[in-house]
């Protein structure tokens, strides 16, 4: 029995999934292997018992049919106890199909785990993060789980040197029922906040669209991406792709600066995995301070320009 991580080529969350698999593998006393469609890349430099580079010309472009069929063959060959995915958009698309094809379910959006008496319990959130639920598997493995962004830390993934083996699945053109076209221009331009190291996020405290540049200046000074709470995007003050939260992106940067954001649960679920959270809010009772590592109680129109000045001074 082993743990198998199925990584997504070039996606930062893949290393978080490796960290999760290494921890679970250690606690269960099971070896950890990984697989990725395409070259092994960064996985080869991680402490893994084996890395499978899954290669086939029909996998050159992503399709749920191609990925599910190819990875199913690897799972049948390796018979892992648990297969772990990063909870990316692509995984949301094909992993339930893959699990179902083996008559299994996928426990999605896992935020933590426990091992007690050799038994694995996964923790996942319900009702937009209001409730945590313990989940255990029944029936025979293989089991499947996807890990929410930020639940496990990429910097805790152990480095090493992993043997790489090529895995060539058997795929026929008729297995793939969709023909992927080029990515939409919008998608190509879309901001992927999940890869940002620093995010400055603006909320309704900014009062009007004309004031957004005040916060943009802070983002620029920190070399950060600008993000927002939902009302800002609903108002069209920033594009939807910059929204963080349950109906926006889930992010886990090294630093998240929340400016004039109250900290509603739908916002918190999208950012509470951030390593360091800084909140600027004039209301000392604002719920954002419950998750903040550093809190500044004050008027953002005074605090933000002062911070920008201090950062510029420190950098010069």
Ligand X SMILES: Cc1cc2nc3c(=O)[nH]c(=O)nc-3n(C[C@H](O)[C@H](O)[C@H](O)COP(=O)(O)OP(=O)(O)OC[C@H]3O[C@@H](n4cnc5c(N)ncnc54)[C@H](O)[C@@H]3O)c2cc1C
Query: Shortest CA distance to 158 belongs to which of 243, 34, 294?
Result: 34
Is position 78 an interface residue for ligand X (rule: CB under 6 A)? no
User: How far apart are CB 306 and ligand X at their closest, in Å?
Assistant: 13
Q: Binding pattern to ligand X, positions 185-224, x when CB under 6 A? A: ------------------xxx-------------------
Q: Are 142 and 83 in contact (CB under 8 A)?
A: yes
Q: Which of 28, 7, 3, 4 is nearest to 16 (CA)?
A: 7
Q: At what angle do helices 89-101 and 64-78 cross, to 10 degrees?
A: 60
Q: Which helix (H) or strand (E) holds 37?
A: strand 32-37
In this chain, which residue has its C-beta nearest to ligand X? 245
Rounded distance, CA 91 to CA 64, Å?
A: 9
Query: Which of these segments, 13-21, 32-40, 74-82, 228-236, binds ligand X (CB under 6 A)?
Result: 228-236
Question: Where does this chain touch ligand X (CB under 6 A) — which range of 79-87, 108-116, 163-171, 298-306?
Answer: 298-306
Nearest to 287 by CA among 255, 264, 256, 257: 264
- Is residue 243 within the footprint of ligand X (CB under 6 A)? yes
List the interface residues with ligand X, window 264-283 (CB under 6 A).
264, 266-267, 270, 280-283
- Of 27-35, 61-69, 100-108, 243-251, which segment contacts ligand X by CB under 6 A? 243-251
* Piece of 82-90, 96-104, 107-115, 241-249 that binds ligand X (CB under 6 A): 241-249
Minimum separation from the CB atom of position 274 to ligand X (A): 14
The residue range among 2-10, 145-153, 175-183, 297-305 that interacts with ligand X, by the rule CB under 6 A, is 297-305
Q: What gap in Å lies between CA 118 and CA 110, rounded to an integer? A: 19
Question: What does the alpha-carbon distance between residue 163 and residue 43 come to, in Å, rounded to a whole number?
Answer: 10
Contact between 148 and ligand X per CB under 6 A: no
Q: How far is the CB of 304 from ligand X (least distance, A)?
A: 9
In b/e form, how buried is each residue of 68-86, taking b as 16+ CB within 10 angstroms?
Answer: bbbbbebbeebebbbbbbb
Chain positions contacting ligand X, by CB under 6 A: 203-205, 229-231, 243-248, 260-262, 264, 266-267, 270, 280-283, 286, 299-301
């Amino acid at each position: 029995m082993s743990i198998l991580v199925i990584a997504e080529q070039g996606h930062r969350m893949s290393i978080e999934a490796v960290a999760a698999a290494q921890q679970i593998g250690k606690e269960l006393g099971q070896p950890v292997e990984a697989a990725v469609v395409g070259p092994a890349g960064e996985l080869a430099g991680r402490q893994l018992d084996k890395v499978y580079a899954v290669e086939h010309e029909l996998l050159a472009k992503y399709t749920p049919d191609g990925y599910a069929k190819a990875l199913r063959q690897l799972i049948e060959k390796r018979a892992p106890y648990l297969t772990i995915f990063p909870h990316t958009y692509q995984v949301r698309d094909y992993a339930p199909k893959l699990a179902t094809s083996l008559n299994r379910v996928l426990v999605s959006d896992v935020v933590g785990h426990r091992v007690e008496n050799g038994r694995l319990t996964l923790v996942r959130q319900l009702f937009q993060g209001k409730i945590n639920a313990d989940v255990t598997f029944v029936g025979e493995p293989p089991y499947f789980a996807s890990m929410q962004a930020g639940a496990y830390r990429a910097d805790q993934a152990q480095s090493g040197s992993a043997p790489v083996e090529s895995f060539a699945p058997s795929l026929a053109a008729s297995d793939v029922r969709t023909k992927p076209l080029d990515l939409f221009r919008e998608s190509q331009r879309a901001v992927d906040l999940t890869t940002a190291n620093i995010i400055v996020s603006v909320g309704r405290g900014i009062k009007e669209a004309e004031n957004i540049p005040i916060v943009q200046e802070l983002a620029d000074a920190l070399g950060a991406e600008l993000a927002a709470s939902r009302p800002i995007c609903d108002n069209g003050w920033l594009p939807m792709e910059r929204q963080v939260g349950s109906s926006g992106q889930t992010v886990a940067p090294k630093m998240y600066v929340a400016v004039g954001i109250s900290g509603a649960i739908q916002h918190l679920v999208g950012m509470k995995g951030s390593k360091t959270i800084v909140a600027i809010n004039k209301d000392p009772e604002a719920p954002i301070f419950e998750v903040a590592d550093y809190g500044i109680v004050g008027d953002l129109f005074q605090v933000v320009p002062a911070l920008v000045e201090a950062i510029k001074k420190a950098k010069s």
